[in-house]
Every structure is written in structure tokens, then in C-alpha cells.
Structure 1
Amino acid sequence: MTIWKNRALLGVALAAGLAAPAVAEDWSPSQYGPEDEIGAANLLTPDLVLQAAKLVRTGKTYPLAVRVDKDLPAFRHRSFRLYNIQPGQQAGRTTGPNKFTFNDEMVVVWTGVGTQLNGIGHIGIDNVYYNGNKAADFVTVEGVKKLGIEKVPPIVTRGVVLDMTAHYGKPIVPEGTVFTVADIEAVLKKQGIAIRKGDVVLFNTGWLELIGKDDKRFLEGEPGIGMEAAKWLADKGIVAFGGDTWASEAYPGESGDEFPVNQFMLARHGIYNLELIDSRALVRDKAWEFLFVLGQPLYTGSTQVNVNPVAIR
């Protein structure tokens, strides 16, 4: 796919009878400048944090991650393996007169297993990523040289959760269900909240209820936002979107394309994706808005990482 750098080139193509490309407008450089590497995280100002902190009334905290083990279903090729090792302690050996012993763990894991932060270097369009960065220029087998997860500041802001199970009247929203702008507005009205600039927006669909019960169904599809809602959310100026599914968009989607919402949000707008967020306790408590806190591991060169965000209300 060619990235058309301006509308003049597109006009020439159309005049010549060529088909319009899938991406028909310039989406780089970023609004934050041609050298920017953190996208919507630029919105995370001290003032925004102070405003979000005012949401804390009870001090109750909610861990938003799922537990990770070798049996957790994961996207396609991904897996998790943990090994406990006791170096130098074979045959019951100890160290020192105090008989010191210890456990160490080695984890062999894809960073996209379990609850995760997908950075803006994770998803591209024909090998072009956020801010026009070409894969050939920054992607290596030892990690990315730009757009790495280590560049992302702590994400501390207002979070909101939208309960789509109540909206659709189903404990598990069916796979392929596309959330429209009208759906989102209806839930916002019912919950008495609005989406603001700098927010993290999460969707509760009941999809986590399938884990351990129907892992095959869990991985073959999911409900989520479509392109109309993605554009609407991007226009709102959110920092991140996500929820309790593994891709945070309807799958199979409306067009048959492969994860177009992720392309639109991450590559074109620098908006982060938070996957497999466990929002069930928030929904039970009707905690529709809260202080969202995330400090991710700084794996240099990684484009995604396992996380345990915390909601505080």
C-alpha cells in the first residue's frame, strides 16, 4: 500500500484512472511534531493529573489485570512459560552458616500475553508506523530504535468504563458486535458521564467470562468498536482505548480488513491500546470514572508490554 503524501498526488492517480489507495490522506507528520515518539501521551500534563486525582473519594483500588499463566489463551502464536530455578541448591544444598536458600524465576513469554499496553510502534500500515516511521529505518531483531515502550511516560489520567453488557442486555456481548457512536452515547448518558480530552476509555463486554470455559470462542472473535466510533473517540482526544478483549475492536470487523481500528488509532493517531483489562469489579461498583494509573515496565525496544493498571476511586 502506498502512503499518499498529499491530495494532489491522489488527484493525479484518480485522473489517470488508478484505484484510490486504502490510505488516501497524509497522516504524518504527527500533530506533535515530526520527531514525536509518544503520540497521545503528550496530553498527559500535570494539570490533567491534578484534575483526575480529584476523582478519588474513597481510596478504593482496583487492579485491572488478569492473572497470567501457561493456560491463559493468547493471540495466535503467543505463549507464556515460567520456570522456577534454585541456583546452586541442587540436592538440598544451602549457602552460608545460616543455610540461605532462595527461589528465582525465569519467564519465557511474548510481551503480548495477558493484560497489556500496546504502544504506538506496535501496529503499522504497510510497514509504516506512527509519525511516518518506516520499519526498515527503526525495526531490528533486538527491538525498535524508535517508538519503544520505554519512551512512554506514566499514564496517569481520568479513566472511564462503559458497560456494554448492560447496554445490550447480555452477560457476554456476542463476537462481531460493532459498537457505534450511538451505542457509546447511549451508555454515556445512562451512566451520567462524558468522555473528555486525555481520557482512557475502557469497554466492559463480558468477554473475560469465556476464559477457561470456551477458550476457542474467546480467541476466534470479539465485540468492540468499529471505525465510526474509533474516529469519534480520536476526535475527542483520548489517550488510550481498550477493554476486556484481546484486540479492543470488533472481530470479525465490518470491512474484512485485518484490525483496521488498531491501525487507525495507533499508527495514524498515536492513541494507545489497552487489552484484556478486567473491569468487572468497576462495573459491579458502578465506578464509571476513576483515577487511572499505569507505570509500565521499561523494556527498551519493545512495542508492547504486560501491565497491571490500577483504578482508584
Structure 2
Amino acid sequence: MSQEAWHRWGPDDERGAVNHIGPEQVRHATTLVRTGEVLRLAQLLSPKTPVPSHRCGMQHFMGRDGGDYAVASSRRPGGFQFAEDTVVMPLHIGTHVDALCHAWYDDTLYNGYLGDSIRSTTRAQRLGVEKMPPIVTRGLMLDLVRLKGRVLDPGESIGVADLQAAAQQAGVDPGKGDAVLLRTGWLESQQGVERVSFDTEPGIDEEAGLWLARRDVAIVGADNFAVEVLPFPSGKVFPVHQRLIRDYGIPLLEGLMLDPLVAAGRSEFLFVASALPIVGATGSPLSPVAVL
């Protein structure tokens, strides 16, 4: 049983590696703002947003729209008119974050909490996404596409040497409290694809994930579905999820849209993201931004 970061911030900690982000990291990140340009790094959400087959897609319903007033002119008290709607969707859709209760092994979650503390009736009693504070820190993009001069192949594994070379190329050094974002080109390659496959994609291997974790980064994200390579190595199932989320308390940010950063030519920036504080949830869609 591995528990590299357990009790590092006390036996009751539910925030994990985001504890690495303190006032010093926030202040430093703000010094990276030069032009004031704000880039959205999230996919658009709609009923067309692709999801794995075991999840339902997004459903969007209008509760009040312009048509209501065409047949009921009396429903305009004081001339006021409005529209409103309701969305039903999985929390792991599009650009989203995995909370620390999302993945575990040996019936034990991060920091020693028990897996049976997650129930359909009570949701996650520990480590729910509402325990994750807003993230304001230094963001780093490690561009594997630029490094290799091509979009990575389906099933291509990204190792420690690849991350080190990409960091050197970008002139950055991942460290305490950073949000490290990995560009594989997978999401870009899926644009316009009618049936997106979530079974084969490039991503980091277990050792690459551990290299980042041991550098005390706060969050790891990527432009692919799982962050880690698919299919898994023989005999393993989501090893990066298991080690980073459960052992190191590092949230994973999946499905990033990194094209705007590529176009801007920036690898280091102020990174801001905040999950929806849904009590007991295992994850949340979010709309991270890079401030240049």
C-alpha cells in the first residue's frame, strides 16, 4: 500500500496537493501577467459534447423561452419577459476535474479515508469536489506536440524523458504548487470526428506521473480524456489515476482545450480554475483560464 502524501497536511486533510498553493505561489503567479489577455481553456458544452459510452450525454431543456409569450401576452407583468433553462449532465464531461474521491484502490482513498464512505445515498462523505478550493497559481504547458513535431499517436506513451525535454524546450521547471498542463494533440485531432474513441489515446505513463508528483505540483491536466495513456500497460488499470489521486492527492484536469495557449505562444502563465462546489461530488466541469 502506497501513501506518499498521506497525513502530510494532517490526518483530516481533504484538499491534497492543492495545499502546495500558498500566498507565495499566488503572488508569484500574478507577476506572470504581461498583456492582461484572458484565454478560456475549456471545451464548449452542449448535447453534442462527446462522452464515453458508459456516461450519458448532456441534456439541455428550456423552462421558459420566447415562444411562451407568443401565446400568453398576459404573462408579462410590468412588461417583464425572461428565459431560463435546466441542464442535466455527468460531472465528468468535457473539460472537468477529478476530485480526490474519484479513484482509489485497496478500499482506501487519499489520506486513509475508506472507500465505503462513498454511497449512492450520501455521495462522497469525504474528499468531495466541494473540498477543492479555487485554484490560482502558476500554469505551465508542456507541449509534447511541439517537442515531437507532430500530434502524438493513439496509444503513444509519454515518459519522464519526454516531460523533461518538453520542460527544457519551454524554458520552465515544474515545481511546488504548479498546474502542469500537457498537450498531446489528442483533442485537436478529434475535432470533426463523428464518433470519438475513448479507448485509445496518447498520455503519460506511471513514472511520468510520479515525476510530476514528486516535484510537488498541485494539479496535472491534459488535452486528452484520461491524462494517462490508453490502453493501459498489461496488468494495470488507470495506474496514473491510482497513484496521483489516491497516493499523492493530486486532482486531474481532463479534456483541456489548449489551442489558445499554442496560438499565443505562451508556456508560463497565471492559471485560474474553480470547480462547482457540489457537495459529495466526484468531479466537476470547469472553465479554466490562462491570464497572459
Given the two structures, how large is their TM-score scaled by the length of structure 1? Answer: 0.87
Q: Does 1:61 align with 2:38?
A: yes
Residues 258 and 90 (structure 1), Cα distance of their counterparts in 2 relative to 1, 3 Å cut: farther
Q: Does 1:164 align with 2:141?
A: no
Aligned to 1:85: 63
Task: Give the conservation status (yes or no) of the 8 Å contact 2:5–2:249.
Answer: no
Render the CA deviation track for 1:211-256: whole Å, top value 9, x for unaligned. Answer: 3533545422111110111111111000111111011011112334
Residues 37 and 296 (structure 1), Cα distance of their counterparts in 2 relative to 1, 3 Å cut: same
Task: With a CA cutoff of 8 Å and minimum separation of 6, indicate the structure with the bigger relative contact order.
Answer: 2
Once the two structures are superposed, the pairs formed by residues 111-190 of structure 1 within 5 Å of their partners are: 111-170=91-150, 172-190=151-169
Residues 202 and 215 (structure 1), Cα distance of their counterparts in 2 relative to 1, 3 Å cut: farther
The residue type paired with residue 178 of structure 1 is S
Q: Does 1:242 align with 2:221?
A: yes
CA RMSD between the two structures = 1.9
- Percent of counterpart pairs with the same letter? 35
Could you tell me how far apart the structure 2 residues matched to 1:167 and 1:28 are? 31
Alpha-carbon offset, residue 89 of structure 1: 3.6
Farther off after superposition, 206-215 or 290-299: 206-215
Q: Does 1:191 align with 2:170?
A: yes
Q: Does 1:33 align with 2:13?
A: no
The residue type paired with residue 127 of structure 2 is L
Task: Give the conservation status (yes or no) of the 8 Å contact 1:27–1:132.
Answer: no
Aligned to 1:17: none
Once the two structures are superposed, the pairs formed by residues 64-75 of structure 1 within 5 Å of their partners are: 64-75=41-52
Could you tell me how far apart the structure 2 residues matched to 1:212 and 1:26 are? 39
Could you tell me how far apart the structure 2 residues matched to 1:75 and 1:269 are? 26
* Structure 2: runs of 5 or more not aligned: none
Alpha-carbon offset, residue 113 of structure 1: 0.8
Could you tell me how far apart the structure 2 residues matched to 1:29 and 1:187 are? 30
Q: Does 1:291 align with 2:270?
A: yes
Decide which structure has the larger Cα Rg and report it: 1
Aligned to 2:291: 312
Could you tell me how far apart the structure 1 residues matched to 2:44 and 2:212 are? 29
Task: Give the conservation status (yes or no) of the 8 Å contact 2:143–2:166.
Answer: yes
Task: Give the conservation status (yes or no) of the 8 Å contact 2:3–2:247.
Answer: no
Could you tell me how far apart the structure 2 residues matched to 1:235 and 1:202 are? 16
Task: Give the conservation status (yes or no) of the 8 Å contact 1:73–1:211.
Answer: no
Aligned to 1:18: none
Aligned to 1:302: 281
Alpha-carbon offset, residue 124 of structure 1: 1.2
Could you tell me how far apart the structure 2 residues matched to 1:138 and 1:199 are? 29
SS in 2 for 1:114: coil
Could you tell me how far apart the structure 1 residues matched to 2:119 and 2:16 are? 18
Could you tell me how far apart the structure 2 residues matched to 1:169 and 1:253 are? 24
Residues 28 and 141 (structure 1), Cα distance of their counterparts in 2 relative to 1, 3 Å cut: farther
Aligned to 1:269: 248
Could you tell me how far apart the structure 1 residues matched to 2:145 and 2:106 are? 35
* Structure 1: runs of 5 or more not aligned: 1-22
Given the two structures, how large is their TM-score scaled by the length of structure 2? Answer: 0.93
SS in 1 for 2:198: helix
Alpha-carbon offset, residue 135 of structure 1: 2.1
Alpha-carbon offset, residue 26 of structure 1: 4.8
SS in 1 for 2:269: strand
Task: Give the conservation status (yes or no) of the 8 Å contact 2:5–2:248.
Answer: no
The residue type paired with residue 192 of structure 2 is K
Task: Give the conservation status (yes or no) of the 8 Å contact 1:28–1:34.
Answer: no
